[in-house]
Structure 1
Amino acid sequence: MNHDSDASGIPAAFLEVLQCPKHAEALHFDGTQLVSNDAKECYPIINSTPWLLQNPLHSMVDWSIKLNHFSRVLGQEIQQLERELKNSQGATRERLELLLGAKQRFVQDISTLVSPILSAKVASKPVYDALSDRAPSTQNLLSYEANLYRDWVWGDEENEQYAELVTKALSAQQHNRVAILGAGSARLSYDLARALDPELLVSNDINPLLVFAAKEILFGQGLAIDEFPFHPKNIASTAIRHQIEAIKDCPGNLHFLFSDAAKPALRAASMDVVVTPWLIDIQPLPLLKFLKAINHYLPTGGLWVNFGSLVFQQQRESLCYSIEEIASIAEQAGFKIEEISEQALPYLKSPYNAGYRIETVWSWRAVKVKDVTLSESVDNLPDWIIDATQAVPNDSKIQSLIQTNQVYIDLAKKVNGKRSLVDISKHFARDYNVSPQESLQLVKEFFQKIAFS
């Protein structure tokens, strides 16, 4: 395979397996970006990484909005810390000063990391044709931020266990092309690129913060960033500044890709192995749809290796599968699971955090036994959002939203500058037919949230 790069910085061996995620066509570099043969579809290269989301401009706008939201939220936190510092003394002041300085740096560090999106160039096209390409609503800029520190600072125990799960599943066989879907900040990608020594390893994710951070560590000058443990052990652990050194020996076979794993940007049957770490239960699609997408990447006889939890985040209970159901779902998607194992492993065991989880981790190797057809629709949003001309359904979610907000509005309207919480709760109890004790508790909780927001 040819590893030479052209002006795009993308090696030929990598470029030849890429495809247009809309029409499954080959792509070529036109001097600025990747384009389809008819030049109708254009995809930017951001920070030397192909951005192969179906509607790239909208996804770039989406992540820019997420960055703006992050900056506003952190700005509010910083202002609150500055106010609290004025009345703080002793150890409390020491802790707040540490936290304030770290938060101020953090805003700048994250903004700098994600800045390539803001300056990227892409062929002009309407933003509003691309609502289907939004990142999952559960995915924001700091989703899985803790995994970055686990991968590159303090998580050697976990990282070694995860890499061993995959290498054991693949035994001593040679695999030329490997794709890791949901690779995050790419420690597993790095470990497998060295351990398996494939000709090509594609580290794929949809979160630019994690990808850009990994690129700074693996191919840049290293990374300075602050960690904020959820339950810090002591004042010094409230915020920890990490200086992550650059990796000096990153394999040349490791390449990054921005794409939605369910909308393949890699050509059909182009990978020998697909690895899905901690992914199948957190991605937003019903499992069968997602596994049909995994089927696309592999030839018959190709291997799919999975490990992680089975805590499905589907609203319908029928789609939250147990381990006993997995083999049947995989079979419908064209796979035969050969081995399934289970073990209890630590998860995000930070030395700075007062607690961590022990997860039951399921792992398996499955072989692709037949081709299946990709699901027609794998959008993260319903049709009536993608197509703004369709009617918005007046369903139970809308009715629940109306009812909830009406309660909040009613409570807010009862404030006239004279009534106490007891007075307001009496009106609330009468209006909503609840007991006085319950009413007072609900009213207190509502206004407590406002007071401390």
Structure 2
Amino acid sequence: MQKTAIHGLESIAESLSRYDLSNTTRNRLGEIYHSCELSQVNTFKLLEQYGITPLVNEQVNQMNIGDLSEYYDLILRDWAWDTTENPSTENQNALKRVISQIDALNIKPKKILVLGAGAGRLSWDIHSRVKPEISVALDSHPLMLSISDWLIRQQQPIALGEFKIFPQIGFQSGQVHTLTPPADPENLRERWFGLGGNIWHMPIQAGSFDMIITPWLVDVTGGDVRDLIGVVSNLLAPGGHWINTGPLLFTRHIPVQIKYNAPEVKEFLALSGFKLATENVQVSDHLVSPIEARGRTEQIWTFTACKSETPDASSVDGVIVPWLVMHHLPVPPSNYSTKDKHPLIGTILSLIDGKRSINDICAEIAGRIPEGITVKDAVVTLLGQVIAEESDNT
């Protein structure tokens, strides 16, 4: 990424040295160069502050640079576009959506975890408004984490540039923003913490939080929403609340089979022992820059689900047993049997102890599945056949 940024600046600098440019073109390129150079210098200085240095990685070198920098506008949206002089409604509306859910519950959460916290603005706004005992803002993006800690915990400003690839009539080509720390007269930042982590390998003990918030996350994890529900359920204390807010805008890399709609997600919640408390749908502006005429709107689904104090999965039409759909649920012990006598089948059935889930069983037998076969598909198919045979015999 650093090499690509340097190459981009060198290319613009070379163009600026040419003799066949008008002053108008030179001024446009100059604005872009200044914005890019400032962002590059300050970004890598910030990462160095946190001990993050770029390393050569061949896999990353094969990626499109857009894949690595697509979240840059989220930083600007959080901390640059919303100013006293030019207030933006995006951050205000995002906060209102979450606070309205909390107010409807009539509770005061003590420990809040925000998964996919990005550059930290929403997690901070919630923290400073609700004032819980602790807030943890988790994200996997090192620049996002560094920015949020620098502004919130360290209370230090940083200047970043912005430029638009497509010319906008009546708008400048580039602009320098000074991102300023949020006001914190009560020193609430001492109870706000940024945490780097992958949601599929969480560095957090089970049941640690009484509220989990997932802003714009369920459709961008790269995995199955059913597995995300399992992660949330594991981290949430019994009786705790999960607030989700964002679109169902799954990436193009996700198979259509797991691009679930809202009714499907609500069925998964019910099967996992969650009770839907409230929900609403709004259409809202998204990533509307003050130096761009273009913009977009998104449909945002916000809901609150309460985790049952005791395991209590609801029935869903067409689902024989909840654990066969929700793979984090324990498989209850029974006298499972099948006509197929393959030794691997016996191994899988022997692992059923009332505690292990399909996910747990998959982890234990992963090395025994022939190459080319997906472990979970094999286990689900086998157990599905077992349940189907039992149903046929009753």
Q: What TM-score do the two structures reach when normalised by structure 2?
A: 0.70
Match of 2:204 among 266, 269, 274: 266
Give the C-alpha shift of residue 140 in structure 1. Answer: 5.2
Aligned mates of 2:299, 2:200 — CA distance in 1: 25
Aligned in 2, Cα 1:118/1:215: closer, same or farther, shift over 3 Å? closer
1:237 is paired with a residue of what secondary structure? coil
1:303 aligns to what?
Answer: 241
What are the Cα deviations for residues 51-93 of structure 1, in whole angstroms up to 9, with x where unaligned?
Answer: xxxxxxxxxxxxxxxxxxx111112212221232213112111
2:215 partner amino acid? P
2:118 partner amino acid? G
Are 1:95 and 2:28 matched, yes or no? yes
Q: How does 1:28-427 map to 2 (within 5 A)?
A: 70-85=1-16, 86=18, 87-116=20-49, 118=51, 141-155=68-82, 156-171=88-103, 172-218=106-152, 219-231=154-166, 233=168, 237-249=172-184, 251=188, 252-313=190-251, 314-369=253-308, 370=310, 372-373=328-329, 375-376=359-360
Aligned mates of 1:287, 1:378 — CA distance in 2: 18
Give the C-alpha shift of residue 158 in structure 1. Answer: 0.9
| Structure 2 residue runs without a partner (length 5+) | 83-87, 312-327, 330-356, 374-394
Aligned mates of 2:209, 2:109 — CA distance in 1: 9
Aligned mates of 2:270, 2:147 — CA distance in 1: 37
Aligned in 2, Cα 1:159/1:222: closer, same or farther, shift over 3 Å? same
Give the C-alpha shift of residue 277 in structure 1. Answer: 0.2
Is the Cα contact below 8 Å between 2:136 and 2:193 reproduced in 1?
A: yes
Give the C-alpha shift of residue 352 in structure 1. Answer: 0.8
2:212 partner amino acid? V
Q: What TM-score do the two structures reach when normalised by structure 1?
A: 0.61
Is the Cα contact below 8 Å between 2:50 and 2:146 reproduced in 1?
A: no
2:242 is paired with a residue of what secondary structure? strand
Aligned mates of 2:4, 2:272 — CA distance in 1: 42
1:303 is paired with a residue of what secondary structure? strand
Aligned mates of 1:118, 1:139 — CA distance in 2: 24
Is the Cα contact below 8 Å between 2:205 and 2:235 reproduced in 1?
A: yes
What are the Cα deviations for residues 379-437 of structure 1, in whole angstroms up to 9, with x where unaligned?
Answer: 9xxx89xx9xx9689xxxxxxxxxxxxxxxxxxxxxxxxxxxxxxxxxxxxxxxxxxxx
CA RMSD, 1 decimal? 3.0
Aligned mates of 1:200, 1:182 — CA distance in 2: 17
1:333 partner amino acid? S
How many aligned residue pairs are there? 304
1:158 partner amino acid? E
Aligned mates of 1:114, 1:187 — CA distance in 2: 19
| Structure 1 residue runs without a partner (length 5+) | 1-69, 121-127, 394-453
What are the Cα deviations for residues 244-287 of structure 1, in whole angstroms up to 9, with x where unaligned?
Answer: 22334151221111111232222211101000000000111111
Aligned in 2, Cα 1:378/1:76: closer, same or farther, shift over 3 Å? farther
Aligned in 2, Cα 1:377/1:161: closer, same or farther, shift over 3 Å? farther
What are the Cα deviations for residues 140-192 of structure 1, in whole angstroms up to 9, with x where unaligned?
Answer: 54231111111112243111111111111111311100010000011111111
Aligned mates of 1:217, 1:201 — CA distance in 2: 16
Aligned mates of 2:156, 2:235 — CA distance in 1: 33
